[in-house]
Every structure is written in C-alpha cells, then in structure tokens.
C-alpha cells in the first residue's frame, strides 16, 4: 500500500481565506481519499475521488486529481476556525490489500 | 449517522500488564482495522480483519498483539504484556467494502493508552 505525501507540512491562514494543500503519490490508483483529524480525535473521511474523476466538491471543499502528475489537491474555501486540523491524503491501489496508509499530513491553523 | 465507538477513551496500565481495547464498528460493515498514533507522529496501520481472520498486519503487530471479534458487534485489540512504547492513541476503523472499491474508512475517536 502506498502513502501520499502532503505538502506543505503546515499552513497558517486567517479566517475567511482559502487553504490549499497538495498530495503526491507514486503508483497508479483506484481512488484517493482525504481525511481530517482534529487534535486528539479520530480521522474523519472528507472526500473520495475516483481515478476517472478530475474534480469533486463537497460543501466548502474542492478536490482535484491529476493522474498524469500523480497528484491531488484539497482546497478549503472561506476557512473557519473549526477547520483547524491535520489533513491527510490516502491513495488507494487495487492490489494492495484493504488498508489505507497515511503520511505526515498538512497541519492547518485557521486564526480568527 | 452511524459511528464507530471505542471504549475506554483513556486507559492507564502498568508495564507488563495485559490490556484489551474495545471497538464497536458500524453494524453492516465487514472490514475492520486497528491503527495507532504515538503522540506527535503519523497514524500507523496495525492490522486489518475480515471474515473472522487477519487479512493484513504490519511489522508493529507482533506476537504481543491479537485481535478478535468475539461476537457480532465487538472488535477487540489485546496487548498481552504492555511496554512503555505501546503508549499511544489506538484507533479502530471499519468499512463496508475494501477501500479499493471506493469505500472510505470510518474511524472511532480512539483510546488513549498510557503505560507507566
């Protein structure tokens, strides 16, 4: 199972601004999933984008996928203090068992 | 919305003692996982479980660890003889299909294990 590499490692923005984070991976995928982790809590699934999709929206979240570059981005628009969390991508291949593997994530701090 | 529940939320134990961490996955889910996160570090995969057997495990999941689904609802992680380095948050997760089938994992809020 491969893990994604998130970039940047940390991001600090003002409330109302947009936050963009990127994910790169190495081998072809079936889907790529984004998760959020608030401090001390479990991971929460945000969006799953399939390999044949290029963009997906969910509320204030927008995810893009570029399989030719093996990269994905997560955009949070009009950020709120409650968006302060760590964000992880998890690329899924079809032959690597069921587990998801997580990288170091992007720590996002939204200042009020 | 159905959720994964874990008990206890915090467990303190002495080195060498056995601990059992409990999880109730979402009721129609078939795939179960344990992850751990040492303070300030990555969320690490421990083990996955399907059809009453381990389907995959990491190097961390050595002979000190075992998992069980004792009944139709609980999924447990046992650490036989805890070490100081087992101190971490332990997360249970479940999914209804393999995650390669476009199915996300649903995580519980974890059990914080402190070994003294």
The 3-state secondary structure of A15-38 reads CCCCEEEEEECCCCCCEEEEEEEC
List chain A residues with pLDDT less than 70: 1, 94-97
Cα A24 to Cα A70: distance, rounded to the nearest angstrom: 6
B57-116 pLDDT per residue, tens: 999 999 999 999 988 789 999 999 999 999 999 999 999 887 667 889 999 999 999 999
Question: What values do phi and psi take at A100, rounded to 5?
Answer: -105, 145
> Please, what sign has the CA dihedral across residues B103, B104, B110, B113?
positive
Strand partners, A72: A23, A65
Query: With an 8 Å Cβ cutoff, is A41 touching chain B?
Result: yes
Out of B31, B101, B108, the one facing A42 most closely (by C-beta) is B108
A102 is written with which tokens? 């997580």
Which string of DSSP letters, residue by residue, matches A48-69? Answer: EEETT-SEEEETTEEEEEETTT
Residues of B in contact with A99 (CB under 8 A): 33, 45, 48, 56, 99
């Amino acid at each position: 199972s491969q893990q994604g590499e998130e970039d940047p490692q940390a991001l600090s923005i003002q409330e109302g601004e947009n936050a963009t984070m990127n994910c790169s991976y190495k081998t072809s995928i079936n889907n790529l999933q984004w998760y959020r982790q608030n401090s001390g809590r479990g991971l929460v699934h945000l969006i799953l984008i399939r390999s044949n999709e290029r963009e997906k929206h969910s509320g204030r979240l927008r995810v893009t996928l570029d399989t030719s570059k093996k990269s994905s981005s997560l955009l949070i628009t009009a950020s709120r203090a409650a968006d302060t969390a760590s964000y992880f991508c998890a690329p899924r291949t079809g032959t690597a068992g069921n587990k998801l593997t997580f990288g170091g994530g992007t720590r996002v701090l939204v200042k009020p | 919305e159905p959720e994964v529940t874990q008990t206890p939320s915090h467990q303190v134990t002495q080195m060498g003692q056995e601990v059992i961490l409990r999880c109730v996955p979402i009721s129609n889910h078939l795939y179960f996982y344990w992850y751990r996160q040492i303070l300030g570090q990555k969320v690490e995969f421990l083990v996955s479980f399907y059809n009453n057997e381990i389907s995959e495990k990491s190097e961390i999941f050595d002979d000190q660890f075992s998992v069980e689904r004792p009944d139709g609802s609980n999924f447990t992680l046992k650490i036989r003889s805890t070490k100081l380095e087992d101190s971490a948050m332990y997360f249970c997760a479940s999914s209804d299909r393999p995650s390669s089938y476009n199915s996300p994992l649903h995580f519980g809020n974890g059990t914080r294990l402190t070994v003294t």
